[in-house]
Structure 1
Amino acid sequence: MTLSTLNRTLLASTVAGLFAATAMQASADLSSRYSDTDGDMVADIPSDESRWVDPSTLVFAYTPVEDPAVYADVWADFLDHLSEVTGKRVQFFPVQSNAAQQEALRGGRLHVAGFNTGGVPVAVNCGGFRPFAIMASEDGSYGYEMEIITHPNSGIESMEDLAGRQLAFTSPTSNSGFRAPSALLRSEYGLEADEDFETAFSGSHDNSILGVVNRDYDAAAIANSVATRMLARGVINEGDYEIIYTSETFPTTAYGTAHNLHPELQEKIQEAFFSYDWAGTPLETEFANSGEAQFIPITYEEHWSVIRTIAEANGVTYDCD
């Protein structure tokens, strides 16, 4: 744990140097399917009213997790509130992968969603996602850290020890589960994926954590907010894994809408998020485990600046068309 604290300090300076050197703030890279006349880096609501969508049933999806059924129950009360505010039926869509969630948005089958941190730029640029909220604590603070974890007695005590071992990522679009650790391993430690260490993709942070605990992987890059909630539910226990690296704080899951929903419906959806009373709800019970207690407004341009720069440091482009 002392190594983790030291690495947090080292990482802050490393990230600042790396990302300042690689790019000024990344520019919008929207698919040609969308327009951005106001320059806020997200798709405009179509000016042609005939393109507006006003479905009788809203489809909502939360970012993929190891057991989607658990989160159907967690979100049930909020979705009742969303239904009441919008006057629409609301259906929970238990997506199995980040790719499936992105495709559902792009294909017009998903209306309201929470996308994982690294998936937000993909959803914005390729799917017309319009993020407007994230979860935050009572005092308005928000975010999570990327951690690299290993199982006890793995023989891995430092980042250098990953050489020749296996490191699990979640998916190629994940910030903490792939992009941030890849950039930092390369820049700070000279470790290149699939050259200096073996990689695997687990599909979700839950799977990566359980994979380390069960010794399927030597180590994994994870979002610590997911681990905190798994600990609180008793899915894993203290001492099941060790932390060798902790990052600076990143923004967490972003919530938003498809760009072509009727403007009044988009306003109602935002109203539902910001008027929701968390007290005594399953949402409070689950997310209090990671210190979250409310939805607060955000903008993609401001709050995802560091995430876009991490993506640029990894050479990510959005060839959506």
Structure 2
Amino acid sequence: MLIMIAAAMLVLAGCGQSANETAAGGESSGEWPKVLRIGSLPMEDGELSRGADQFAKDLGEYLGIEVETFQGEDYNMMIEAMRSKKIDLTTYGPFGYIIAAERSNAKLLAAMNNGPGTEGTSVIIVPKDSPVQKVEELKGKNFLFADPASTTGHLYPRATLMKQLNLANDEIPEFFGNVSFSGGHDKSLLAIANGDADGAATCSQCIEMIGGAGLINPEDVRVIAESDPIPGGGALAYRGDLPQDLVDKMREFALSYADKNPAYFEGLGAKGFFPAEDSDFDGVREVAEMLEMSPEEMLAN
């Protein structure tokens, strides 16, 4: 499911020959782009960032073309970058993927998770010493979501709050004293562990994953609520007009990467990339419809 902190989030770098030029050449002539540029969301942990660099290096060697990396800012940037053909490949969270598929011609290459039949959840967390024991007791408190387009850091926990508090979607901000976006799961967890926020939403695997990176002590946060299971997984997606033989080669690389570099996935709370279909994300689409928010409204929050 991962997941929005995945270090393989891929964004086009803004240097060298433009992606529009290389991709257009590949699309019209069947030739591959001369440069494939991939990148990652900012991470507090340097080890995860180094994992993204290694992924790019290994992919370039496998494809036999130059691969460049760039660090993006958020999911919205990557969705827009794919729409404007400035991005070739990225790992989205499930909700980010369904928006990108709708508006940016994103196509599914593979899913990052723990294998067929595995599902994750999102959780509502508070500092370990907080007197809060259930979500109702967060009324009037400061609350953090991760990113507007995050499935486990916004979409599913928002639905969980609606269900447990018996509130409409537009009533969620009024329930809390303040609602904001931290910019990432790691930042939300750091805020809770340090007592800088009263509550936050994150992925169930993120507590141990971020803890394993040494950023927090997992015992400094406490779970008070959990979402329904989340289908799909982190979506490794490509721009839909890339040459098919390049797509086939990238999929071949992704599906075998766990054998080459299992440590990469251990740092991300997954076991590898696995075959996936667009329909695997229909459950996420159903939750998005329940929230009655357009992609534009969700991303603008």
The TM tier, using the shorter chain, reads 0.7 to 0.9
1:56, 1:280 → 2: CA distance?
Answer: 25
Aligned-residue offset at 1:68: 7.2
Q: Contact conserved, 1:125 with 1:318, CA < 8 A, in 2?
A: no
Residue 223 of structure 1 corresponds to 203
Aligned-residue offset at 1:183: 2.3
Structure 1, residues 225-265: CA drift from partner, whole Å, max 9, x if none? 22221111221113211100122332331102111111211
Aligned-residue offset at 1:281: 5.1
1:205, 1:254 → 2: CA distance?
Answer: 17
Mark the runs of 5 or more structure 2 residues left unpaired by the alignment. 1-23
2:151, 2:265 → 1: CA distance?
Answer: 25
Residue 297 of structure 1 corresponds to 275
1:208, 1:154 → 2: CA distance?
Answer: 16
1:70, 1:185 → 2: CA distance?
Answer: 33
Q: 1:160/1:277 Cα in 2 relative to 1: closer, same or farther (>3 Å)?
A: closer
Residue 40 of structure 1 corresponds to none
Q: 1:210/1:255 Cα in 2 relative to 1: closer, same or farther (>3 Å)?
A: same
Residue 95 of structure 2 corresponds to 118
Residue 242 of structure 2 corresponds to 261
Q: Contact conserved, 2:262 with 2:271, CA < 8 A, in 1?
A: no
Quick check: 1:244 aligned with 2:210?
no
Correspondence for 2:180 among 184, 190, 200: 200
Amino acid at match of 1:194: P
Between 1:266-275 and 1:75-84, the stretch displaced more is: 75-84
Correspondence for 2:118 among 142, 152, 162: 142
1:82, 1:266 → 2: CA distance?
Answer: 12
Correspondence for 1:127 among 80, 104, 110: 104
Q: Contact conserved, 1:170 with 1:205, CA < 8 A, in 2?
A: yes
Aligned-residue offset at 1:153: 2.6
1:279, 1:82 → 2: CA distance?
Answer: 11
Q: What secondary structure is seen at the aligned counterpart in 2 of 1:249?
A: coil
TM-score (norm. length: structure 2): 0.80
Higher relative contact order (CA 8 A, sep 6+): 1
Amino acid at match of 2:238: T
1:278, 1:93 → 2: CA distance?
Answer: 25
Quick check: 1:270 aligned with 2:251?
yes
1:61, 1:223 → 2: CA distance?
Answer: 22
Q: What secondary structure is seen at the aligned counterpart in 1 of 2:111?
A: strand
TM-score (norm. length: structure 1): 0.76
Residue 7 of structure 2 corresponds to none
Structure 1, residues 144-184: CA drift from partner, whole Å, max 9, x if none? 21000000232211011111112111122222212222223
Residue 209 of structure 1 corresponds to 189
Quick check: 1:54 aligned with 2:32?
yes
Quick check: 1:178 aligned with 2:154?
yes
C-alpha RMSD over aligned residues? 2.5
Q: Contact conserved, 1:168 with 1:217, CA < 8 A, in 2?
A: yes
Residue 3 of structure 2 corresponds to none
Q: What secondary structure is seen at the aligned counterpart in 2 of 1:104?
A: helix
Q: What secondary structure is seen at the aligned counterpart in 2 of 1:243?
A: strand
Q: 1:218/1:52 Cα in 2 relative to 1: closer, same or farther (>3 Å)?
A: farther
2:98, 2:254 → 1: CA distance?
Answer: 21
2:44, 2:238 → 1: CA distance?
Answer: 24
Mark the runs of 5 or more structure 1 residues left unpaired by the alignment. 1-45
Aligned-residue offset at 1:205: 0.9
Q: Contact conserved, 2:160 with 2:226, CA < 8 A, in 1?
A: no
Q: Contact conserved, 2:135 with 2:164, CA < 8 A, in 1?
A: no
Amino acid at match of 1:123: A
Q: Contact conserved, 1:110 with 1:258, CA < 8 A, in 2?
A: yes
Aligned-residue offset at 1:53: 7.5
Residue 315 of structure 1 corresponds to 292
1:260, 1:53 → 2: CA distance?
Answer: 12
Amino acid at match of 2:220: D
Alignment length (residue pairs): 268
2:296, 2:267 → 1: CA distance?
Answer: 36
Q: Contact conserved, 2:105 with 2:240, CA < 8 A, in 1?
A: yes
Q: 1:97/1:244 Cα in 2 relative to 1: closer, same or farther (>3 Å)?
A: same
Residue 73 of structure 1 corresponds to 50
